[in-house]
Amino acid sequence: MKRLRHHFGSLEDKREQKRSKTVPLGNLREDVMYYTTIQMGTPPQYIDVQLDTGSSDLWVYTTECPTCKPTSPLPTNDGTAQYFNKTRTSTLLITTTPVNITYGGGDAVAGVLATETVALGGISVPDQTFIYVNSQQGTKGGPGLMGLGWTANTVTNATPWWLNAIDQFEAPEFSFLFAQSNGTNNGNPSAGGQFTIGGRNQSVYTGDLSFVPTVSEKYWDVPFSQIVVSPSLTLPIVNSTVNVIDSGTTLLYGPPADVEAFYGGVEGAVKGELVSNTSLGGMWLIPCNTAVNAEFVFGNASVTWPAAAVHMPATAAWIYNNVPGGLNTTYCVGGLATPNFSSTAISFWVFGDAFLKGVYTIFRKGTDGEHPSIGFAKLKGVDYTGNGSLILGYNGNGVDGTIGRTGPNAVVIDGRANSTDETSESTAGSEQPPPSDSTENGGASNPTTPM
């Protein structure tokens, strides 16, 4: 009956469901972290949070946390707060139940369970469970994190915000466009793209969407079989245990042997550990003008990683000169690395922002017998065959967005900016997924999947 009601319900029922909503993303420290602003409490307090598909819980720093000092502080002059203040809301319920989360790399937050009204883009969820943080250790990034994963991956055993909100929309999906830093903001926050809930923005991608069913309903993970680096180099992926699409991680991470084999196909590639006085363990350096792109095969879908995304942006935070054993050219940090937080070789892949900048990505819940899936599409204007630029300095409304060239200073997102209701160009989508079948750069966040 649920399917019949969904497809053949009254006009009144259909009007109750919303079109998609889009909010701008901010880009922090030149592609290290992407964030947006949520509203918490009554009256609302504006808190900047990282949107993380690699985890599922919501947590925020509070004024009762003396150790909460973000290593990447966000601006406070745009109407947002660094910390949530319990004395300024009438709808907060705090429990005495302790909870803590440890992420890959040892970053951790601890606090107690609480509930509060939480909104994003004008979409409000009352009594949303979150972690009221009163202690943190080494957490890189801003003052909060909103997990966009599944309930099975929560530490709190609570339904994630997006699952509580998604039934308000016609399309049970959310999508991302990540924009690369244009390098003109000296490490300050800049426009970083857009997040859409309840649909997708058809105006920013081109061609067919390729949907890949997820392997589980614990992670946003996909089957991964091979990488084609060039016509003469194909790398089979045979021992990977899990392959997570993770918006909360800076780089793309893989097993050491696979990563080294990949860079074997990139002319002039050098191990980062050979550069003295840096913390580049697990990373590689490649010429910034490299023209190498790659194809990642997920299930039956082949997804191109364009050359411009294979390395981090050619900005002061990510470039090196006079690289030992390298070519006589400027080097950039490669977007693919091996985590250096573990003494044993990993057997999994984490596809972070370095990968996601090169593709439009849709995360679909799956309803009425459909399996959850992830859709990939090529971005409009991006050169997928040569060494063209990615989308630069793009916010939720396209302001200051440029493709294929470096634009003027990107606009720092206003945490109080209104979200946009999507037009006919940004729709709930008609394509259906298939059936179930820190140095300066070393500030890169480690995989955010809880350990």
Q: Which residues are catalytic?
A: 52, 246
Q: Where would I find the beta strands (DSSP E) of 345-425?
A: 349-351, 360-364, 373-379, 391-392, 402-403, 420-421
b/e burial code for range 386-419 (CB count within 10 A of at least 16 → b): eebbbbbbbbbbbebbbbeebbeebbbbebebeb
Q: Where would I find the beta strands (DSSP E) of 198-250?
A: 205-213, 224-230, 233-236, 243-245
Map tokens 């439009």 to a residue: 360
Local structure of 6: helix, strand or coil: helix
d(CA 314, CA 331): 8
Residue 198 falls in which region: left (phi positive, over 0), alpha (psi -120 to 50) or beta: left
**Which one-letter DSSP state was computed for residue 435?**
-
Identity of the residue numbered 296 = F
Residue 69 neighbours by CB distance under 10 Å: 12
For residue 352, what are its two tokens?
A: 């972070």
Contact call for residues 43 and 134 (beta carbons, < 8 A): no
Contact call for residues 164 and 192 (beta carbons, < 8 A): no
**Which one-letter DSSP state was computed for residue 381?**
T
